[in-house]
Structures are given as C-alpha cells and as structure tokens.
Structure 1
Amino acid sequence: MPSSTPDGGPEENPAASAHTDKTTRSSWIRLVTVLIGLTAVVGGMLLAFALPSIHGGPHEMKLGLAGPQPAVDAVAGNLAPDEWTVVRFETPEALAAGIQKREATGGLAFTAEAVDVYTAAAAGAPGAAAVTALGTVVAQQQQLPVRTHDVVPFPADDPRGAGLTAAALPMVFGGLVPAIALTQLFPGRNRLLLRVVGVVAFAVIAGAALTAILQFGTGSLAGNYWLTAEGLALGMAALALTVLGLEAVLGPIGIGVGAVLMMFIGNPLSALGTGSNWLPDGWSTFGQLLPPGATGSLLRANAFFGGIGSGYPSMVLACWVVFGLVLAGIAALREPDPAPVVDDPE
C-alpha cells in the first residue's frame, strides 16, 4: 500500500524526484549546446559568404604587357606584386592571343597613339574591370587615349554573364538533392548500388539539360555544347557521389557534412562569378579543390576557352568521384547488421 503524507496526499519518492531533476538538467544542457552549435553554424555561414566578397580583388592576376621596353618596365615596376603577375609579350597581337590561351587574364599594350586595354570578361568580369581601371590610370599618366578590346567576351545575349553566375546554386543542388532523394527512396545497404547508378545517371541527364538551358535557352554559354555538358555532368557526379558516400558511411550525419562542405563552404568559395584570382590565395586554392569551385572552373574553360585550362579542375573532380565511390565501397563491404532473434513459442 503506497505511503501517504500527514495531510493524506501521496508521499513524494526522493529517488524519482532526483531522477527527474537530473533528466531536466540534461535536457537543458543539451538545448544550450544545440543553440550554441547552431549559432556557430550560422556565423560560419556568414563568414564564408561575406569574407570572400569583402577581401575580393586581384590576387596574383596575370597581366600581359606589350610595347616599348621602357614603358613596360615603368608600369611593371609600379604594380603591387601580390596583386599582379606580369607576363611580357612582344606585340599587341601576341598579347591578345595569349589572353585567348589563358596565358594572361588581361593586358595593356603601349603605342605612341594610345594605351590599348585587352580584357577577357568571360574569365571574370571583376578582373576585366580591374584591368580596364589600371589601363585608364596609366593612359592618364601618359596623357594618351584608351582603347578597349574584349578578347573573350560573354555572349551577346548575356553580356554581363548573369547566367553563368546563377548556375552556381543549381549545380550544388544538382549534387545534393539526388543523393538525399535516392537515399530516402531506396534505403538500405543492399540498394547502395542502385543509388550510385541513380546519381550518376542523374548527373549525366541534368548536366545535359542545364547546359542546354544556359547555352540555347538564355544564351549565357558559348563553345561546344557536348564538351560543356560533359564537364558539368562530371561536376554534378562528383558532388552527388561524395554526399552519397558520406551518407553510406556516416549515416544521416554524412548528408549534413556534405551539405556544409558543398553549399556553405564550396559555393561561396567557387568564384564562379568572379574568377579564382579574385579571391585571396588561401581561399582561392581551397575553393578550387572543392567540387563547386572545380566545376565552375571547368564550366568556364569549356564554355569560353575551348577547354584550355580544363585539366586541373577535371583531375580534382575525378578525385572526388573516386572518393565517393570508395566510401560507397567501404559501406558495401561492411558486415550486415545481425537480424533480431525471435524466440519460437513452444
């Protein structure tokens, strides 16, 4: 019979009360920890998106110079070495050809009549604007007019390259969404191969579709359609397979790790709208080692420069594809979880 207090009410159990207090304290500690963690994540997201823009500017950007030796030496001597890397050309024609071959991002050619500014807007509009501003200052100092030449422009239908910049998020989502969706639709280790085949097939189809939209729909891309579509498919496959592999090894937390890595770090450091030389060296290097940055560089190289400069980002993306497949292979080779034992009733 339960004990009671003098007033007739049930007597409080000290052990149960202590257990309740302990559980309540644990819940509050967990809540505070989650709130601090979420705040750190939001703050990190702000830094990841804001700092590259705040500190954006020329960083070891290759500047071609052509013309009389004294004029070239005078300009080269006044450039900040951490902002510009000088590449010398014999003639203005050689300078223009060098920009098309990505030997320089832009350049200046000096003649007795004018200062000719050569840019490649498709390599990054901010970089082209910085070269133009530099040429304008030099021309004012020499009291000469400025003549501008956009050697590799964006297509006439999208002269500011808005479509290329807007492609960043669809590329990242194109890697995250299929990996998450197929994991939910086809769960389990025995369906891992099905998920891998699914994300690769999606990457091929989506790469072709997005390239068609950007090239034929909005007129934002130029160049060989199939080459560009192949590069975009490789990038989306690298994203999706990495997230899929992380989920297969780590479980649901793997999707979170992949999302943070690709969207909240890789996307702002991809430099798709500016070109990698517009970011500080450390961020630029790290960003180009992640799938969003490598995909953006490969897309730019294939769509505007005939594949020149596509080797490094292709190698980076291939490594991420292999990494994702290795993770999936590790998960597939794990021993299956033992089935629960059910006692037969006698």
Structure 2
Amino acid sequence: MAAQHTASGQDARSPWPRVGAIVLLLTALLGVIMIAFAWPATRSTVHDIPLAVAGPPQAVAQVTQQLETRRPGAFDLVQVSDTAAAERLIRDREVYGAIDLSTGRPQLIIASAASPAVAQALQQVAQGLNLGETAVAVRDLVPLPAGDPRGAGLAAGALPLVLGGIVAAGLLTNLIAGTARRVTGALAFAVTGGFALVAILQFWLGSIEGDYWVNSGVVALSIAATALTILGLESLFGTAGLGLGAAVMMLLGNPLSGLASAPEMLPAGWGALGQYLPPGAAGSLLRSVAFFDGGGATPHLLVLLGWAVLGLILVSAAGLRKSRRAVRVEAPELSPV
C-alpha cells in the first residue's frame, strides 16, 4: 500500500519540462513588464512640444530660427501676434506655453498644470535663448495647486485609475453571476470609485482643482471604460479575454498615459497611442476639466465614451451568443414522419 501511495504521488507531480517552461514564461513576462514601464520613462525627452511664439514677425523669425538650430525637432511652433492670442492657445490646451516678444520685454508663459515636466523644460530652453540683454521673465498662467506644486498626486493617480477598472472586472467576473448584474456592478463601482478617488486627490492631497462633481464624472467614466471593456472581453473569450484586457490597460495604457510627464515627451508615436487608451485619455481629460475649464477636453471624452460603448457592445454580443446556443440546445428534435 505504501508503495502504491508513493507511486501515485509521483504520478501527480508536474514534469520538470513543464516547470522549466513556466519559469521561462514568467521571466519573459517580467521582462515585458519592465520594458513597458521603464522604456517610456528612460526615453522621455522633449520633441514636438506645441509652443507658441508671439510678437512682431522679425522677432518671431529670430526666435524660431534659434529654437530650430539649438533644439531641432523639439518644438512644434505656432506663430501668433500678441499675448492674448498666446494665452488663449494655452488655456485651450493647444500649446504648452509661449515665448512672448510682443510687449517689448521677453517673457515665457507656461502652464505647469498642463505638465510640470514640460514647464521645466521650457524654462531651461528659454533661458538659453539670445534675446538681448534683457532676461526672460517667467509667468505661470495656469499653475498647479499650492498643496501639490509638483503635481505628484495626479501623476501617481494613473495607476489607481487603471487598477480600479481591472480589479472591478476581475472580482465581478468571479463573484457575480449574470451579465446585467455584472454591468450594473461595474457602473455602480465606477460612480462610487470616482467620488472616492477625486475626494482624496482634491480635498485631502490638494492635487487638483475645479468642480468636484465634474472631476468625479471624469474618473467614473475612466473606471467604467476600463471595467466594461474587460468584462466584454471576458464574456466573449473567457479567462484569455480577461487577461488580454488587463494586459492592454496595465502594460500599455498606464505607462503610455503621459501623466507623469506629457504624451509628447514619450517615444515618438507611443505617446499618441496612449491618448487613445482609457488611462491616457482620462489623465488628459482630468487635467482639462480640473485646470483649464474644459479646454481641449472633447477628444479625450470621446475616447472614453468609445471604450465604454465598446465594452457594452462586447457584453451584448456575448449575451446574444449565449442566447442562441441556449435556443439550439432547448429546441426539440423533429421526429421523421
């Protein structure tokens, strides 16, 4: 009997090749995670940053030439006539700042609330320009809150935004039966989660400003977009769909969101891709409504709505497929006449 028990125990053990394969798979997965998070951060640099230059044509041409010579490809320059036009572009989130030469005294207008990293980079570049003996004055048109002058809270908020939707989808899938109940649970959690996260960011940490209810709506929409998409993928493809959705949101959406710097500072093309994923769109939309009175919010709002609708479509498609299968199973077989 002891010999039989030992043999049975040995048969139940996994073969060593499988252990080795799983170790290699885990190593590869760890490498992918490292690349996803470290590569955008280490390759972050200034390129194609929208920047306005205001002033007389001759002065604007001089500064433009200096910028293109010293930092080729760093800026996407927009020429405007005066200070008011430059400020309008900043508030509409069409540019990150402006070099203003229209008042006789050179000044750099920044908006640290749009991106502290870009604001700092603009100050370094402006101080190196040859604009005569007059030093370049710096004016922050849209500053970050006094409670969080470095914008650390909003940058760190990218991960909870992603995890909220992923965890919600995972728990609802495993603990709740019924498609309608899962969707209702995801939407309800999105609302309560939005209220909770924004309360922490706005009232406790002081990281964002603006209307609390609007900010909460943005965060709720972000959580709903992520959770519904993953729920839809799980409904259609099972565990593989759940893993795929979580991987896309975590390994692509989070590091490419640009919340820690700016989408334009990420490797070329990847920052733009990140704005079409829920984390990036949510971060940009939250900045717009919290600091810029909704300037530049529309594209990001449409992206989040699109993901939420896609999730509902996927869930509906899965429900329709199950209904058809049930009808086929329950349909009585016709007996021959």
* TM-score, normalisation: structure 2: 0.87
| Match status 1:152 vs 2:138 | no
Q: CA RMSD in A?
A: 2.4
Is residue 70 of structure 1 aligned with residue 58 of structure 2?
yes
1:255 CA drift (Å)? 2.2
Distance 1:321 1:111, change over 3 A: closer
**Are residue 243 (structure 1) and residue 230 (structure 2) matched?**
yes
In the alignment, does 2:75 pair up with 1:84? yes
Q: Which runs of 5+ in 2 are unaligned?
A: 1-6, 331-337
Name the counterpart of 1:194.
181
Distance 2:277 2:92 in 1: 24
Q: Which segment is superposed worse, 92-101 or 263-272?
A: 92-101
User: How far has the Cα of 1:111 moved from its partner?
Assistant: 6.2
**1:131 is aligned with what amino acid?**
L
Give 1:283's aligned residue: 270
- Find out whether 1:97 has 2:88 as its counterpart: yes
Residues 113 and 145 of structure 1 are in contact (CA less than 8 Å); yes or no, is this contact kept in structure 2?
no
- Percent of aligned positions that are identical: 42
Displacement of 1:297 = 1.1
> CA separation in 2, counterparts of 1:326 and 1:101?
33
* Contact 2:90 2:111 survives alignment (8 Å): yes
CA–CA distance in structure 1, aligned partners of residues 103 and 201 of structure 2: 42
- 8 Å contact kept, 2:94–2:296: no
The whole-number CA distance in structure 2 between the counterparts of 1:97 and 1:104 is 9
The yes-or-no answer on 1:42 pairing with 2:33 is no
Which residue is equivalent to 2:165? 175
Partner of 2:333: none
- Taking the aligned partners of 1:220 and 1:183, their CA distance within structure 2 comes to 33
Q: Are positions 1:252 and 2:243 aligned together?
A: no
How many residue pairs are counted as aligned between the two chains? 316
Q: CA deviation at 1:59?
A: 2.2
Displacement, 1:72? 1.4
Query: What is the alpha-carbon distance in structure 2 between the residues aligned to residue 81 and residue 192 of structure 1?
Result: 53
Q: Which residue of 1 aligns with 2:117?
A: 126
Partners of 2:313 and 2:219 in 1: how far apart?
Answer: 22
Superposed displacement of residue 327, structure 1 = 1.7
Task: State the shift of 1:170 in Å.
Answer: 1.1
1:176 and 1:243 in contact (8 A); partners too = yes
1:325 partner letter: L
Q: Indicate which of 287, 294, 298 corresponds to 1:307.
A: 294
Deviation at 1:112, TM superposition (A): 8.1
* Secondary structure of 2:52's aligned partner: strand
**Whole-Å Cα distance in 1 between the matches of residues 165 and 248 of structure 2?**
12
Deviation at 1:81, TM superposition (A): 5.0
Which whole-Å CA distance do the structure 1 matches of 2:294 and 2:17 have between them?
54
Query: CA offset at residue 172 of structure 1?
Result: 1.0
Correspondences of 1:255-274 after superposition (within 5 Å): 255-274=242-261
Unpaired stretches in structure 1, ≥5 consecutive residues: 1-15, 340-346
2:317 matched to which residue of 1?
330
- The separation in 2 between residues aligned to 1:27 and 1:251, in whole angstroms, is 27
Deviations 1:241-273 (A, max 9, x none): 111112212222222212211112211111112
On the 8 A contact 1:45/1:265 being kept in 2, the answer is no
Q: Determine if contact 1:207/1:233 at 8 Å carries over to the other structure.
A: yes
Q: Distance in 2 between matches of 1:77 and 1:166?
A: 37
8 A contact 1:175–1:236 mirrored in 2: yes
* Alpha-carbon distance in structure 1 between the residues aligned to 2:35 and 2:213: 37
1:3 corresponding residue in structure 2: none
Distance 1:291 1:85, change over 3 A: same
Q: Distance in 2 between matches of 1:112 and 1:282?
A: 37
What secondary structure sits across from 1:63 in the alignment? strand
15, 18, 21: which one pairs with 1:27? Answer: 15
